[in-house]
Amino acid sequence: MLRTARLLTGEQALAEDLVQTALEKCFAAWPRLRAYEAADAYVRRTIVNTYLSWRRKRAWSEVPRERFDDHPAADAIDIVSERSMLMDALAELAPRQRAAIVLRYYEDLSIQQTAELLGCSTGTVKSQTSDALARLRDLLGDDLDEAAESESERRSRR
């Protein structure tokens, strides 16, 4: 849950707040849950819906963006750099596009599952994902290619 929230929000502390808020909502609604085997999907959907709700609020834009990485890795400077580039690029996406990318490629959900979580059609998921990937390619184009080349060079030296 926390990893998904971290990818959605881009910040560790905000991700923790998102998970806490979503779990509070789930706790309040727990007696109404009919299928306990669907609890994971219910919690995941609550996290995504809460994130999208937060993004609609004006106060979201007032959160400072310049933060230190919460878990710097001294041995993996290149990986941190690549992750930072990706997180910055994800932050540039529209909230629903970002949610679609996180659910499809990080959570490895199908198009149908993503559509159910986002409350939209499968066609909308496909178009949101396509638009988001095109935007990410625009944002990360040369940087992503250079990062991939440096990673392959680093692996060949081992």
pLDDT digits (tens, 9 = 90+) for 72-91: 544 555 666 777 888 888 88
Sign of the alpha-carbon dihedral angle for 95, 97, 99, 102? negative
119 secondary structure, DSSP code: T
CATH code of domain 75-158:
1.10.10.10
Distance CA 118, CA 124 (A): 10
Please give the model's pTM, rounded to 2 decimal places: 0.52
- The percent of residues in the chain predicted with pLDDT above 90, rounded, is 23
**Residue 8 in contact with residue 18, Cβ under 8 Å?**
yes
Range with the poorest average pLDDT among 42-46, 82-86, 95-99, 134-138 = 82-86
**Listed residue (141, 136, 49, 137) closest to 93, CA to CA:** 136
Cite the residue boundaries of each domain of the chain with CATH code 1.10.10.10: 75-158
> 51: burial class by Cβ within 10 Å (0-12, 13-18, 19+)?
buried
Distance CA 43, CA 25 (A): 9
98-125 per-position pLDDT tens digit = 999 999 988 889 999 999 989 999 999 9
